[in-house]
């Protein structure tokens, strides 16, 4: 890159925050101390009323927007939404994005050194829950001297953190924006996660999670896990158009159902024949080189365990009874991982709890992944909602 | 079992048929000779007009109905539909069910001895296509001295064979019954198959497919492959009810989304916490003990490659132009592997080709697996259609 695009959050330097106060985890275990790596975009106003917290999904991290250097080929994972003039506008808001506990982006997690043993946590890192993350995010909030978030925003697993915020710390946020979320995983969701975990743990390079000591990693297993995940992030129709563009001699007309071939002839062997196969391999392998397998396991367990209604007799509307923020929920028509129905369940329980809720179902072809993409109606709705939030929090502070 | 149920096809003895005539495969390779293992139920009438061919799906075999002995715990895979008085009525029809070439149920396949080398075919068994299967089924038909099937019937991959029959041998069948089928796989279908193949081939016990020589088998990989497959055979809602029956202390009310736990407390470890996880493990492991990995690979490739429109300028209605049978298509509302839309595509192309087609969309909760189950409206429709077929073929023969 010669220069940073004018609507980019710019060159961002991550900051590390160290926490000495022990963290009591849902599992009963205690983390005596930990670090969180954080990026911020935009400026905190004097009243500290314009701060937004971004919660990341399964494979996300703190690097949500902008670039780390001019050499970066890719911007942060939510650069489509965060930047000057973008939906989450850095000209209006001070945006805080962290890597969650247990992550592998720089916050304390399985790849960190356990101060008590002097070696990597590896598989001994405690299983953390969405609730634990929210607790650690409150500790970060206190370090930043922010009293109340203008908004807590996240998609997918990030959206689950948003819901938990509204339940655990009702006075600490003005609005909750939950995108492509679900009140809890269904059996099918859990089943896909278990396939991913099995792929990783049955890789002979996994060594019960102690692969770092052996200078190896279960790349094949992690590749497989990501391939399965990737399929569930895309819609059937998105895959049809993504891998069905070429008109080959086999496919002269119309929709070929995403059956583009890698070469003109079928191999009649077990190598990849179709473009979709090599694409998934490539994406999976690239992911396996940059992500930690123990973190992947841990994140999928956090997903499985999430159920904010558990402490409320399985009644989600009861869980929301003390919530004190307004809610925006957004879902996408072709998302079959967390389909619109799951967001509507949340909406219904919020209404039952008499909360102020706005719900938007976006027609989009891209499946679950749509939440990361610049789908126009989605982006405009998010922008317009946050503009109103900005007016409200500035007025409240004045 | 003390006795065989009165509506069972009874104790069945499989028969072996040897074929000396070389089979030219779609891949260009030639199988110099082969065996097919076959079961038959019911009696062939004098006019040989009441024969039905059953085509099996990915993991099926020749044992479609009845029992092999009184010690058998389970009947054949389609016993819900085949038997005296059942939808495919052995009192009316002579039913022929074979294990396809490349299978591991007794027909020539990767686990057979290659007469040219004296050792297992293993990974050197040629990739066979749906077209090859149909060709071998015609050879079987000739051995049985049957001129025309009253019906060729199959679900899923079996339904694809049905379609191919109507295209390749239009004069050899009176009716084609394609259940839960698709005109060809979409990119998403292929992607799931590729995940299954990768699971198998990256198992260290796979040895490039030469596991039999080493007295081992890639059980973990095959287990994983089956787990992924199994998820796609069930609907989300079927999984919700299957694994959401228990009202535990965590789930006191209503639908718990299939989140039944294995014990009262979460493990906060990586063992299976939810019933759905251990169910999938159990099913996958049981399957991996009874099925050959090379066969699994080969069957998934046959699925991927199936596209009867390829020789017709990608126009499926053209492919059907010479078809000379009547068609029944059946799909199931919650089947997301081959959803009703895919059957409707076939129906549309049949109508465009001016064929006689009956189409039935069945409301059923069980997903793709519904085709194997006694869903009342489905069973009754199949019975009524076949009763009519029986009248027609008897009349024609008279």
Here the tokens at position A92 are: 């209006």
Of A253, A315, A336, the CB nearest to B253: A315
Q: Are A134 and A164 in contact (CB under 8 A)?
A: yes
Q: Are B353 and B345 in contact (CB under 8 A)?
A: no
Return the active site residues of A. Answer: 156, 335, 368
- Asked if B253 reaches chain A (Cβ–Cβ under 8 Å), the answer is yes
Here the tokens at position B51 are: 């024969």
Here the tokens at position A1 are: 């890159």
State the residue for tokens 């269904």. Answer: A186
Long-range contacts: A1-4, Cβ < 8 Å, 24+?
A1/A67, A1/A70, A1/A71, A1/A72, A2/A70, A3/A70, A4/A66, A4/A67, A4/A70
Long-range contacts: B78-81, Cβ < 8 Å, 24+?
B78/B54, B78/B372, B79/B8, B79/B9, B80/B372, B80/B373, B80/B374, B80/B379, B81/B374, B81/B379, B81/B382
Give the gap in angstroms from C-alpha A242 to the nearest C-alpha of chain B: 9
Instruction: For residue range B105-138, list pLDDT tens digits in order.
Output: 999 999 999 999 999 999 999 999 999 999 999 9
Strand order in the sheet with A151-155: A15-19, A34-41, A94-98, A51-55, A151-155, A175-179, A326-332, A357-362
Contact B314 A250 (CB under 8 A): yes
Q: A318 CB contacts (<8 Å, ≥6 apart)? A: A309, A312, A353
SS3 per residue for B251-289: CCCCCCCCCCECCCCCCCCCCCCEHHHHHHHHHHHHHHH
The DSSP letter of residue A113 is: B
A232 → chain B, closest CA residue: B188
In Å, the largest CA–CA distance within chain A is 71
How many Å apart are CA A243 and CA A226, to the nearest integer?
18
Q: What's the start-to-end Cα distance of chain B, in Å?
A: 42
Of A27, A187, A273, the CB nearest to B243: A187
Predicted local distance difference test score (pLDDT) of residue A395: 84
CATH no., domain A15-184+310-397: 3.40.50.1820
Return the active site residues of B. Answer: 156, 335, 368
How many Å apart are CA A68 and CA A70, to the nearest integer?
7
CATH of B15-184+308-397, one of 3.40.50.1820, 3.40.50.720, 3.30.70.20, 3.90.25.10: 3.40.50.1820
Domain ranges of chain B: 15-184+308-397, 195-294
How many Å apart are CA A82 and CA A53, to the nearest integer?
12
- Equal fold, B15-184+308-397 vs B195-294: no
Contact A259 B310 (CB under 8 A): no
Helices (H), chain A: 130-143, 157-168, 187-201, 219-233, 236-242, 275-290, 293-305, 316-319, 340-352, 376-397
Is the pTM of the predicted complex or chain greater than 0.80? yes
Prediction ipTM score: 0.95
**Which residues of A are less than 8 Å from B190 in CB distance?**
258-259, 274, 276-277
Q: Are B278 and B272 in contact (CB under 8 A)?
A: yes
How many Å apart are CA B205 and CA B202, to the nearest integer?
8
- Asked if A297 reaches chain B (Cβ–Cβ under 8 Å), the answer is yes
Predicted local distance difference test score (pLDDT) of residue B398: 67
In a mutational test of the A interface, the residue from B270, B273, B275, B279 whose CB has the highest number of chain A CBs within 10 Å is B270
- Tell me how many degrees the CA angle B207-B209-B213 measures, rounded to the nearest 5: 75
In a mutational test of the A interface, the residue from B191, B227, B246 whose CB has the highest number of chain A CBs within 10 Å is B191
Here the tokens at position A200 are: 């990783």
**Digits of tens for pLDDT over chain A (398 positions)?**
788 999 999 999 999 999 999 999 999 999 999 999 999 999 999 999 999 999 999 999 999 999 999 999 999 999 999 999 999 999 999 999 999 999 999 999 999 999 999 999 999 999 999 999 999 999 999 999 999 999 999 999 999 999 999 999 999 999 999 999 999 999 999 999 999 999 999 999 999 999 999 999 999 999 999 999 999 999 999 999 899 865 444 444 457 899 999 998 899 999 899 999 999 999 999 999 999 999 999 999 999 999 999 999 889 999 999 999 999 999 999 999 999 999 999 999 999 999 999 999 999 999 999 999 999 999 999 999 999 999 999 887 76
**Which residues of B are less than 8 Å from A281 in CB distance?**
194, 198
Q: B361 CB contacts (<8 Å, ≥6 apart)? A: B330, B331, B332, B333, B340, B343
Predicted local distance difference test score (pLDDT) of residue B256: 87
Contact A228 B227 (CB under 8 A): no
Domain A195-294, classified CATH 1.10.1740.110, yes or no: yes
């Amino acid at each position: 890159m010669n220069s940073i695009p004018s609507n980019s959050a710019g060159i961002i330097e991550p900051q590390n925050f160290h926490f000495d106060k022990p963290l009591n985890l849902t599992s009963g275990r205690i983390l005596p101390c930990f670090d969180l790596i954080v990026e911020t975009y935009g400026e905190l106003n004097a009243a500290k009323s314009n701060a937004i917290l971004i919660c990341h999904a399964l494979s996300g991290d703190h690097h949500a927007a902008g670039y780390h250097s001019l050499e970066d080929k890719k911007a942060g994972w939510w650069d489509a939404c965060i930047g000057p003039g973008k939906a989450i506008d850095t000209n209006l808001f001070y945006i805080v994005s962290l890597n969650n506990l247990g992550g592998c982006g720089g916050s304390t997690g399985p790849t960190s050194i356990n101060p008590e043993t002097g070696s990597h946590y590896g598989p001994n890192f405690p299983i953390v829950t969405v609730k634990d993350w929210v607790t650690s995010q409150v500790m970060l909030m206190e370090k930043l001297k922010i009293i109340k978030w203008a908004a807590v925003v996240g998609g997918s697993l990030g959206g689950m953190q948003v819901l938990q915020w509204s339940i655990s710390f009702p006075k600490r946020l003005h609005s909750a924006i939950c995108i492509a979320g679900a009140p809890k995983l269904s059996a099918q969701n859990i089943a896909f996660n278990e396939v991913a975990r099995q792929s990783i743990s049955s890789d002979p390079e996994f060594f019960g999670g102690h692969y770092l000591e052996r200078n190896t990693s279960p790349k094949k297993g992690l590749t497989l896990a990501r391939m399965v995940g990737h399929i569930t992030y895309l819609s059937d129709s998105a895959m049809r158009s993504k891998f069905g563009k070429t008109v080959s001699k086999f496919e002269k007309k119309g929709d070929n159902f995403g059956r583009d071939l890698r070469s003109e002839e079928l191999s009649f062997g077990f190598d990849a024949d179709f473009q979709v196969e090599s694409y998934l391999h490539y994406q999976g392998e690239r992911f396996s080189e940059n992500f930690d397998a123990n973190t992947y396991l841990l994140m999928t367990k956090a997903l499985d365990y999430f159920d904010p209604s558990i402490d409320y007799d399985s009644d989600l509307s009861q869980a929301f009874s003390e919530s004190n923020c307004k809610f925006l929920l957004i879902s996408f028509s072709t998302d079959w991982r967390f389909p619109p129905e799951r967001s509507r369940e949340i909406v219904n329980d919020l209404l039952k709890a008499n909360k102020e809720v706005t719900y938007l179902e976006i027609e989009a072809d891209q499946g679950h992944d749509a939440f990361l993409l610049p789908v126009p109606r989605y982006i405009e709705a998010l922008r317009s909602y946050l503009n109103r939030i900005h007016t409200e929090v500035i007025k409240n502070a004045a």
